[in-house]
Structure 1
């Protein structure tokens, strides 16, 4: 089994209009790309954003090079990006002001967080979260059972 002492998960988003996406993510997160590589025809081959200790990548679909289809091309997405921020409501408003669709308004949830769901203009879905209180796995299980019991009444 490989050693995972140093392990980092980095989302790599496939986008159908990466130039617009770079502007969107720059506005939403308040940082310029750390790295931006373009193809000879001007399409973005690779872009890296660094935010605090986290980072994510994006590129144009590039099907002629085996690139991954974007949610726009697929008409759906099968992955949501969970983003922890200091202020869930503020981030949701910023994303909405920049063309995102709010799928679920910010709400306090049973697992001790304030949570919302947003779809960005490129079809990627984001879970926007602010931790309200630290809960153990056992506490979360109890809270979930209570929520489901209340729902069935």
Structure 2
């Protein structure tokens, strides 16, 4: 039997990452529109239930796919807005973090951490989308060894007691 099978949503497993975020949104259709405008996302599919709520949708940003669904409290599916926030941050690498974050903020994202060069070699910032999901966004600038990163962290955060 083939290891690659089509699931009910029409997405083939061979095209999925090993870990694929599945976001619960209060207004998943609006979230797709936001991700298209703010992130340059491409919609791959959407499946609406009889009530009009999205039962499944998938979008792609660069080479990363994520799925979306509307809140369905009867299924135990609540958004970060309903829950009062999320402890999860989704990390996204992009070609130009400054332009990406600027576009996202113009589209309605909240800037949580301004973009700056970080001690581990990335240019990095954090935004929160209007649906309560946090995104750390980065452009890789330089390769560094673990030792170089540790030394740079000590300079960046001198009071840190983190060691390898």
CA contact (8 A) 2:42 2:61 kept: no
The equivalent residue for 1:114 is 123
Does residue 72 of structure 1 match 2:81?
Answer: yes
The counterpart of 2:39, out of the listed 4, 29, 32, is: 29
How far 1:65 moved relative to its partner? 2.4
Deviates more, 1:81-90 or 1:43-52: 43-52
How far 1:116 moved relative to its partner? 0.6
Task: Structure 2: give runs of 5+ residues left out of the alignment.
Answer: 1-15
The equivalent residue for 2:155 is 146
Task: Structure 1: give runs of 5+ residues left out of the alignment.
Answer: 1-5
Residue 50 of structure 1 aligns to a residue in which SS?
strand
| Pair 87,7 (structure 1): closer, same or farther in 2 beyond 3 Å | closer
How far 1:50 moved relative to its partner? 2.3
How far 1:25 moved relative to its partner? 0.8
The equivalent residue for 1:3 is none
Matches within 5 A, 1:50-61: 50-61=60-71
Give, in whole Å, the separation in 1 of the partners of 2:30 and 2:73. 19
What TM-score does the superposition give when structure 2 sets the normalisation length? 0.82
How far 1:19 moved relative to its partner? 1.6
RMSD: 1.8
